[in-house]
A = this chain, B = another copy of it.
């Protein structure tokens, strides 16, 4: 049972998911009591052999004639979902507006391996994960109640991970988040003014300046954006204009996976396996063919802590220049 409430002061929604909660007394601070990292967890719900302990499988990649535990990538509903398909998406209330927690919350188990990081996976396995993310995105978008599908990965405790076994998550929401609305409005205005995609123009300007480029191939570019919000923030963008990740062609996944592996491995080796969040930013419902947006992958290492200034202003203070971070990462040997 979850629902959304509208925060009128910033014109955005908040998801309330009490079933994901700890009880208030469990939220008490604990002095230095960090859980020990398990090398292998026999009762991990995402490890092969424990398939029965997860909610019913949504999708999986299995070799032909493989057994139930012989999957390569597996998708299951989140056991403590922020949003569920059973909830209603009707809006209620007047000054205090709310709606049911209608949506979806899925987990993509990245591989059968409990502890291998994504950067250490072979390119083919990363490709499988990205294909699965697209396939789930496309399938979820078939439900016309869902306005936005957010694809993300949390790596490490400070990035918000609670289960160690490497996984991605997908949340479909019944509303368009304010930030995404803003991004699309900004890109639309830019297109109206210039006739170009803001993201393609930015990319071309970065390619001219070169200083913040981390890697290039025929299809994709990895770069640390001019106005990065956090140290070592890295984006992967397609060279061509394509609004929706859902439209990425089958033959582009291999080079995308190779580029993602390169970026993650550089961060892993250069910064000592830092915690990070990864998101795939893509056009919203109805904007798949629009010429003004380009989907992209954002990798946001958790090296610093946003504090009162960030919460009070919404702005970021970044202590590392992206050109210096790019320079550092370029020198990391793989």
Interface residues of A (CB under 8 A from B): 5-18, 20-22, 24, 27-30, 32, 34, 82, 95-96, 148, 150-154, 156-161, 169, 171, 173, 177-180, 182-183, 186-187, 190, 198-199, 201-202, 205, 209, 225-229, 231-232, 270-275, 277-281, 298, 300, 303-309, 311-321, 324-325, 328
B10→A171 contact, CB < 8 A: no
Given A20-B319, A190-B8, A305 contacting B183 (CB threshold 8 A): no
Please, which residues of chain B bring their CB within 8 A of the CB of A9?
183, 186-187, 198-199, 202
CB distance from A41 to the nearest CB of B (A): 18
Once the chains are docked, how many angstroms separate the CA of A7 from the CA of B180? 14
Interface of A is mostly: mixed
Please, which residues of chain B bring their CB within 8 A of the CB of A16?
317-319, 321
Please, which residues of chain B bring their CB within 8 A of the CB of A277?
307-308, 311-312
Which residue of B232, B308, B321 contacts A169 across the interface (Cβ within 8 Å)?
B308
In addition to A24-B320, A173-B313, A277-B308, 19 A-B residue pairs with Cβ atoms within 8 Å of each other are A9-B183, A9-B186, A18-B321, A24-B324, A24-B328, A27-B271, A27-B274, A27-B303, A27-B304, A27-B320, A29-B272, A29-B274, A150-B309, A159-B308, A160-B306, A179-B314, A277-B312, A281-B312, A298-B312
Q: Return 23 A-B CB contacts under 8 Å, by A number.
A: A8-B227, A9-B198, A9-B199, A9-B202, A10-B179, A10-B182, A11-B182, A12-B314, A12-B315, A14-B316, A16-B319, A21-B319, A22-B319, A24-B271, A24-B324, A27-B271, A27-B304, A28-B274, A95-B205, A148-B313, A150-B309, A150-B313, A277-B307
CB distance from A121 to the nearest CB of B (A): 18
